[in-house]
Amino acid sequence: MSLQCGIVGLPNVGKSTLFNCLSNAKAQSANFPFCTIEPNVGVITVPDERLIKLGELCKPERGVIPTTVEIVDIAGLVKGASKGEGLGNKFLANIRETDAIIHVLRCFDDENVVHVDGSVDPVRDKEIIDAELQLKDLETVESRIQKTEKQAKAGGDKQAKIALDVLYKYREALSEGKNARTVELTNKEEEQAAKEMFLLTNKPVMYVCNVDEESAVKGNAYVEKVRDAVKDENAQVLVLAAKIESEIAELETYDERQMFLEEIGLEESGVNRLIKAAYALLDLRTFLTAGSDEVRAWTFRAGSKAPQCAGVIHTDFERGFIRAEVIKYEDFITLGGEAQCRAAGKLGIEGKDYIVQDGDIMHFLFNV
C-alpha cells in the first residue's frame, strides 16, 4: 500500500534534518533555502512493540518483518508560491501527490540559523504556507464551479448539484482564509464529493513543532501559540527537537538510545512518535501474521473487511477468500501461541463482512 506523508515547511525550519532522522536517505541539510530541490522519499519502518513480543514467542526462522510508511521531504516554500515564486510550482505539484501533510514549524531561537523572514514566529510561518495552499485551492474551486454549474443546470445532474453545494462551502471558507478541512459536511454524499476534489488544504495534517533541547519534554511558548492557532482545525500537534533526534539517530545500539532518552526525560524518541502519528494520520492500521516461519505486520486502511486485508498479502487471497481465522493479540500473548488459543476457544472464524481490527492476528483460507 503506497501511501505518502509529505514533510513541508518554510526553508530552514528543520525539515531535512528531521527527514534524515526518519530515514537512511540523507537529504542535504544546510543553512540556506532550497537545499532540498527534488523530493526525497524515505521508506520508514513503523515501530511496533507487538512484533518484538511475537518474535520472542514464535522464534520465527525468517525473522520479524515490520510494516512501513513513505515520507517525502518536499522543497521549502516561500511567500508567492501559488504564483510560481521560488520553487512554488514544484512544491505544489509534489504536495498534491501526497496523502497527508507533516507541517514542520520552527519553535526555537538560534541566531546561527537564518530564518527566511528574519524572525521566529511559527504561527506566521504556518499562515504563510496556509495562504499559498488556500490560494491554489481557491483557484481550483473557482474553475470547478464554472464547469459544475453548467452540469447542474443543464442536465439536472443530482451528483453535480451535491458537488456544487460543497464547492460553494469551500469557496466561502477559502475566501475567508480558512483551510478546506475546517468545512463541516452534512452527509456521506457531500463527503464523497469532497474526496474527489483533492484539495491541498483538505489533506490530513499534523503540525510538528521543532523545539530546542530544553523544550523537548514540555514544549515552550511558541508551541502553545501553535496549539491555540490550530485548535479549530482537525489537526494533531507533535513536539520534538530535531537536533536531539539527529544525535539519537547516530547512536548505534537500542540501549544507548534508551539511556540518552532517559537522561533528557523522554520515554520514547520523537521520531518514533512521529512515525506512529504519521501512520495514524494516513488512517492506516496493522494486522499481524505469526508463526514459526515469520512474524509480520501488514498495513490496511481502517474499516477494511477481511477479504480486502487478505488481498494485502496476495490478490489470490482476496479473489478466492473463504474465511479468516482471527486471534486477538492479547490472547495470543497471554495464552502463549496459536495452539493454546485454539484449545481455549479464543480463535474466531470470520466471514467476508468481518471488519479487521488493529492488532488482529490473521490466517486466511482461500481457494482459486
Each residue's pLDDT expressed in tens, for the chain with a length of 368 residues: 567 888 888 888 888 888 888 865 444 444 444 344 455 788 888 889 999 999 999 999 999 999 888 888 887 665 654 455 544 456 677 888 888 999 999 999 888 776 666 688 999 999 998 998 899 899 999 999 988 888 877 766 788 889 999 999 999 999 999 999 889 888 989 999 998 898 999 999 999 999 998 999 889 999 999 999 998 887 889 999 988 888 888 887 878 888 988 888 888 888 888 888 888 888 999 999 999 999 999 999 999 999 999 999 999 999 999 999 999 999 999 999 999 999 999 999 999 999 999 999 999 999 98
Is the distance from CB of 72 to CB of 98 less than 8 angstroms? yes
Chain center to CA of 46: 11
Is the distance from CB of 39 to CB of 94 less than 8 angstroms? yes
Question: All 3 cell numbers of residue 26?
Answer: 540523507
Residue 97 identity = E
- What is the pLDDT at residue 32? 40
Q: Which residue has the cell 507533535?
A: 238
- What is the pLDDT at residue 250? 82
Secondary element (H or E) of residue 70 = strand 68-73
Secondary element (H or E) of residue 129 = helix 122-155
Q: Is 7 helix (H, G, I), strand (E, B) or coil?
A: strand
Determine the Cα–Cα distance for residues 96 and 307; give it in Å rounded to an integer.
30
Q: At what angle do helices 122-155 and 221-229 cross, to 10 degrees?
A: 10
- What is the pLDDT at residue 115? 67
Determine the Cα–Cα distance for residues 296 and 62; give it in Å rounded to an integer.
10
- What is the pLDDT at residue 40? 78
Spell out a b/e string for 126-157, using b for 16 or more CB atoms within 10 Å of the CB, else e.
bebbbebbbbbbbebbeebbeebeeebeeeee
Residue 108 identity = F
Radius of gyration, alpha carbons of the chain? 23
Determine the Cα–Cα distance for residues 10 and 117; give it in Å rounded to an integer.
9
Contacts of 94 (CB under 8 A, 6+ apart): 6, 39, 72, 74, 75
- What is the pLDDT at residue 25? 40
Strand partners, 171: none
DSSP 8-state assignment for residue 66: -
Full-prediction pTM beyond 0.95? no
- What is the pLDDT at residue 289? 97
Determine the Cα–Cα distance for residues 156 and 138; give it in Å rounded to an integer.
25
φ, ψ (nearest 5 deg) of residue 239: -110, 130
Is the distance from CB of 301 to CB of 283 less than 8 angstroms? yes
Residue 197: CB atoms within 10 A of its CB come to 16
Residue 150 identity = K
